[in-house]
Amino acid sequence: MSVLIAPSILSADFAALGAAVAAAERGGADLIHVDVMDGHFVPNITIGVPVVASLRRIATVPLDVHLMIDDPDRYIDAFAEAGASMISVHAEALRHLHRTVHAIKALGAKAGVVINPATPIVAIQEVAADVDYVVVMSVNPGFGGQTFIPRSESKVREVRALLDSVGNLAPVEIDGGVDRSNVACVVAAGARIVVAGSAIFGTADPERATRELKAAALGALTAPATR
Ligand code: DX5
Ligand code: ZN
């Protein structure tokens, strides 16, 4: 599998989301990452179902919806109906993670499970065969523009090994603090979906930033191992 670039609109101008998505797509975005926050699971509040429905009308690539909310079971139907192709939920937010993963799949969306920096990988061990992707948070969720937590690189390797051990080819997604300086390392570690917010929409030219990040990510697939 190649590497997919998923620009996070969290760092875009919310008054011009259509233009932001179009620029990222011109730069080669493979997915659009949508960060949903409720002010409870994380301290910040962002966007909800109506915005996803509007984005679905203008985006030409799939929407990767990251739910940073308490009780996500209450909302997965609505996000799927609004046009989310991928829905990820936090292991920390769910008592019945296996049930939720299968509920997302039953709605026709891809089911992702997210783990925070402090969450051990064993938290997803029993659903490793069921998930369509695993998101490794490389910052504590809630805000864009934070610094990449170095331990995340080895965590990507360990999640990849877990998925391989159960014969699941599902990709590992990395989310938080990724930019051109570290994308090669996370791809070399096994990440195949790369989320980037400020590294794309925090720049003057998001189209170019997307293109350059993608080139750096793809370059890491062909580069000889450095360690
Ligand atoms: C953080 C979000 C991320 C965030 C990434 O809670 O889940 O998707 O937008 O932004 P950067 O790339 O700026 O860390
Ligand atoms: Zn996210």
Nearby residues of 212 by Cβ (< 8 Å), 6 or more positions away: 180
- Whether 52 and 82 have beta carbons less than 8 Å apart is answered as yes
Atom of ligand 1 nearest to the CA of 138: 14
When pLDDT is cut at 50, 70 and 90, the band that residue 22 belongs to is very high
Task: Report the chain's C-alpha Rg in angstroms.
Answer: 16
Token code pair at residue 37: 């926050």
Ligand 2 centre to CA of 34 (Å) is: 7
The one catalytic residue in 30, 38, 64, 175 is 175
Ligand 1 neighbour 190 (Cβ under 6 A): no
**Catalytic residue flag (residue 175):** yes
Does the pLDDT value for residue 227 go beyond 60?
A: no
Atom of ligand 1 nearest to the CA of 66: 7
Atom of ligand 1 nearest to the CA of 202: 13
- Whether 175 and 36 have beta carbons less than 8 Å apart is answered as no
Type of residue numbered 95:
R
pTM, to two decimals: 0.97
At 215 the pLDDT is 98
Ligand 2 centre to CA of 175 (Å) is: 6
At 225 the pLDDT is 57
Three-state SS across the chain?
Answer: CCCEEEEEHHHCCHHHHHHHHHHHHHCCCCCEEEEEEECCCCCCECCCHHHHHHHHHHCCCCEEEEEECCCHHHCHHHHHHHCCCEEEEEHHHCCCHHHHHHHHHHCCCEEEEEECCCCCHHHHHHHCCCCCEEEEECCCCCCCCCCCCCCHHHHHHHHHHHHHHCCCCCCEEEECCCCCCCHHHHHHHCEEEEEECHHHHCCCCHHHHHHHHHHHHHHHHHCCCCC
At 137 the pLDDT is 99
The one catalytic residue in 35, 64, 132, 179 is 35
When pLDDT is cut at 50, 70 and 90, the band that residue 1 belongs to is confident
Nearest CA to ligand 1 atom 4: 144
How far apart are the C-alpha atoms of 165 and 150, rounded to whole Å? 24
pLDDT in tens, 40-90: 999 999 999 999 999 999 999 999 999 999 999 999 999 999 999 999 999
Ligand 1 centre to CA of 138 (Å) is: 9
pLDDT in tens, 207-226: 999 999 999 999 999 876 55
At 224 the pLDDT is 65
At 175 the pLDDT is 99
Type of residue numbered 146:
Q
Segment 100-121 mean pLDDT: 98
Does the pLDDT value for residue 112 go beyond 70?
A: yes
